[in-house]
Each structure stands twice: as structure tokens, then as C-alpha cells.
Structure 1
Amino acid sequence: MCRRRSILAVLLGLWTGCAVGQTLPNHVDPSARDILPDLTSLPAIRFLTTADFPPFNYRDENGALVGFNIDLARRICAEVDVPCTIQTWPWEQAANALADKQGDALIAGLALTAENGERFDFSAIYLALPGRFVTRADAARDFNPSDLDGRTISVREGSAHEEFLHRYLPDVEVTASEDEIAALQAVESGQADVYFGDAMRASFWLNDNLACCSFAGEAYFRPDLFGQGLAIALPAGHDSVRHAIDWALVRLKRSGSLDELYLRWFPIGFY
């Protein structure tokens, strides 16, 4: 048992990936060249998005289009110094609208799947969505992910995070709930010792339940299970726009603007 726990501790340490020692997203290639691409063929960037993906892109109580993605699109255009338009589409039509070149870029969380990769090009990833553990606040400080035997872990039923637990922690007791909120409330009520799931969704619940619970341990980046993260989709071959967006993302990270947006929209950071 001790040997198994030792091996498990090593694996869990590796799974945290680039999250060790950092609390802010940092997906910028350190060797990226800070050279403005040729913009002679780029008079403006026409962004497409949806209005049903809070906190990334949605309409507020006044009907205004807001969100992390909306602010990011505008910052990109300002950095590149070109006019910016943002047009909303229903989710089921947005990808086809991009394929028909009714816009230059889609910033709406389109998954980086093999199927979408055949239809579109993608920018660099600007935000990954890791998995994280949540415990009662008083248990977070001494949390040890390699010592979970005998603990009950709550998770959303049918999620990739449930698969993660069954695959890598087969000896823990897993209790599945219909959604993330119910799974988190199981920790709050004492029905479960630990929650594991989507860190971004958990961060919003924690923002309203700081007296109860806290993130415990590091963030887990598993692209094969949790997805590659968020990137901006573009029509295939639309290289001038893609290069301009990637250049802007590097500049926004180096200037601190990308961190400022992250902290504004995610007050309980999930990295």
C-alpha cells in the first residue's frame, strides 16, 4: 500500500503540469517573436460569438453583450490597432457562419476536436480549464491528494472528472451528482469529504461560499480528458488574422492585460 501511494503521489505531481508555482494563466510560448504581422490585408476583425456562455459571452440585465471573451476580443483589436465588430449568433449556427466566412474569427468556446480541426484553424490557447479538488476550508491546508483512501469524493455524474477518478484513483469512494452545484453542496453538507471537477465552475460557487469551502491542492491539466482549453477559431487559411490574434495574445500577456481580465472575471482564481 505504501509503495502504491508513493507512485500515486509522483503521478499526481506530474498531472499538475505548468500549474505548479503559478496562480495565473500562462499559455504564451516564451520563444514567441514579438513582431507585428503584416496587416495590410486586415482592415478590421469581425468576431462572431454567442450570447449564452456566461461568464465568457452573454447579455447582462440591460441586454449588453459582456463577458471575458467580449473584453478579450476588444483588447485584441485595440492591440492590433484595427476596428473590431462583434456579432452574436445562436450556438447551433455559429460554426457554420464562420465556415461561410460571415466573420473572421469565432470566440465562443468552440472545442478543439479533430472534427473542428478539419474545418477551422485555431489561435493559440488563451485559457485552459483544469480540474481541481475542493474541500471544507479547514481541511484545505493539510490536503494530500495521494492520501484519499477512505474519503468520499463527489463529482458530476458522467463527467470526464468522474472518469479521471475511476481511472487513477480506483480505491476511493465516488458519489456522483446530477450537476457540479449538487456535487459541491455535498461537501458543504458533509455528505462528501472532497469534490473533484471543473475548476472554473467551482470558482463561481466558491465565490458565494468562502466561509464553507476552498480549493485544495494544485490544478490538474489533462487535455485528453478535460479538453485542450479555449482558443479562437478561424476559417481555414485565414492566416493573416490568426497571426495577428496570436501576436496580440502574446502582447496582452506580457503587458499584464490578460491577467487583469482573468482576475476581473474570475475573482476566485481556478489555477
Structure 2
Amino acid sequence: MKKLFLVFVLSAISVGAYAKEWSAIRFGVDPTYPPFESKDTGGKLVGFEIDLGNEICARLHAKCLWVENDFDGMIPGLKARKFDAILSGMSITPQRAEQIAFTDKLWNSSLRLVTKTGSKLLPTAESLTGKSVGVEQGTVGETYAKKNWAPRGVRVVPYQNQDQVYDDLTVGRLDAVLIGDVQAQIGFLKTPRGTGYGFAGDKIIDPTSDKGAAIGLRKEDADLKEKVNQAISDMRKDGTYARIEKKYFTFDIYDN
């Protein structure tokens, strides 16, 4: 009888040790990617993914906490428990899926090359040989450019954040930028500093990163993944996702 009681107690302790209420969710975010996440003039975090995150927290009755982090440090920061989830344009890729778990898709984007208007450059290694292409560290753009272009004479230049990439493009230190089409269009090309720049060539087909962007989670936090996926599904069904989407886009970002 004592042995049975001991087994019961140990089991209860074990369950309690791994159970988590998720009364607060800490999201890792890189606020240099408007319209998904950025800061307004008052320093407040704003954007499509910020709104989605706040809505998810509300549905889970959890407090949203935002932890700013450079994008290339997102996965290490998540694994080190600096935050609980990554909500910052994290594309689903096989390489990342080996390290972390992903929720269901939040939105979709494609890689595009941005250059000066009228430039004859194209998103090919042949066209970009000897040219400098800026990318943000840790992004699918960096992975694609280093794999497909760098070995063929293209100078791929990584930056700590996207603002630095734009800065060097506009002062002439870069010939082009490789980035997601939605972010480039709304976060740069439609802004004053994007005047005189545009997309070069067509969208880049990259099977390793065309599965969309989602929230990144630790693999052991299966309970949080289940809760967040349910919230995303409910938001899609009841029209909340569409309402938030219309604040930022004139098209369907989910199936873009």
C-alpha cells in the first residue's frame, strides 16, 4: 500500500513539474520589419504580428510580453528560454524544424530582389556576379543567397537588422537587397526612403522556404503549441484574422 501511495505521489509531482499555466507568454520579436513588427514614434511596438500575438494572448487569458531580439539570435534565445515563442516573420524551413517546433501557418511571402528603379539586375547568379546583395542575418534570404549566389561570385553581405540593410542600399554601398516581397513593398518601397527603388525580376521560387511564416516554439512545449494553434484556427473561422489583416494589407496575406 505504501509503495502504491509513493508511486502516486511521485506521479503527481512529475505532472506538476511539467504542467504550465501560461499565464504570460513572452514573444521574441525583431521590430525592424514593418508592417509585421516595428515601433511607432512613441516607441510602442506595432504591426500585423503584434496584433495577432496580442489577440492570441487574449484568447488564452495570458499576458503578452514582448522581448526585442536580433533575428539571427531568435532560435538560440528561444532554446535558452529568453522568451517562450518567436513571432517575427519566422519562415518554416526544414533546417529550423530540426531545432524548434512551428505552429500552423500565419501568413505567406516570397523572396524578391530590390534594386534601383531601371536597374538591369535580375535575381540570378549570372546577373549578380561581382555585385553586392544585402540580407538580414538569420533569414531565408541569407540562406538562399549564400547557397545559390555566393559560390558563383556574388558578394552576399549580412546585416544585424533590416534597417541597416536599407540604409546601406540607399547610400550606395549595396547593389541590391534580397527580402520578402510583402515586407519590402510596405516597409520600404512605399515609404519615402524607398523612392527610386523597386523589384527586379520575378519572385524567387525556393521550395525550402515557401511553406509560410509561423510562430516558433520549443519542441517540448507541445501544450502551448496546441493552445496557440486552436487560437489561430478560431481567429480564422470567426473573422478576427481577416479584420486584423485589413488594417495592414489590401490582399490576402495568408495565401499571398
Which TM-score band (shorter chain)?
Answer: 0.5 to 0.7
For residues 92-115 of structure 1, the C-alpha deviation after alignment (integer angstroms, 9 at most, x for no partner) is 75544489xxx6x55355675778
Q: TM-score, normalised by structure 1?
A: 0.52
How high is the sequence identity, in percent, across the aligned residues?
A: 17
Structure 1 residues 1-271: aligned runs within 5 Å: 46-50=24-28, 52-55=30-33, 56-57=36-37, 60-76=40-56, 80=59, 83-89=61-67, 91=69, 94-97=78-81, 106-108=86-88, 117=97, 121-128=101-108, 130-138=110-118, 149=127, 153-156=131-134, 159-160=142-143, 161-166=145-150, 170=152, 174-177=154-157, 179=159, 180-181=165-166, 184-185=169-170, 192=175, 195-199=176-180, 202-203=184-185, 204-206=187-189, 207-222=191-206, 224=208, 229-233=213-217, 235-238=221-224, 240-248=226-234, 250-251=236-237, 256-263=242-249
For residues 172-203 of structure 1, the C-alpha deviation after alignment (integer angstroms, 9 at most, x for no partner) is x63444643366347xx5984xx251236644
Look up the equivalent residue of 2:230 and give its one-letter code.
Answer: A
Look up the equivalent residue of 2:198 and give its one-letter code.
Answer: S
> What's 1:32 paired with?
none
For residues 23-80 of structure 1, the C-alpha deviation after alignment (integer angstroms, 9 at most, x for no partner) is xxxxxxxxxxxxxxxxxxxx987431246533455654535343332211233456x5
Aligned CA distance change for structure 1 residues 216 and 90 (closer, same or farther; 3 Å): closer
How many residues are paired up? 208
Superposition RMSD in Å: 4.8
1-structure distance, mates of 2:110, 2:233: 24
For residues 125-175 of structure 1, the C-alpha deviation after alignment (integer angstroms, 9 at most, x for no partner) is 2234532122333458xx8767965876431379322432246xx4xx634
Gaps of 5+ in 1: 1-42, 265-270
3-state SS of paired residue (2:202): strand
Q: TM-score, normalised by structure 2?
A: 0.55
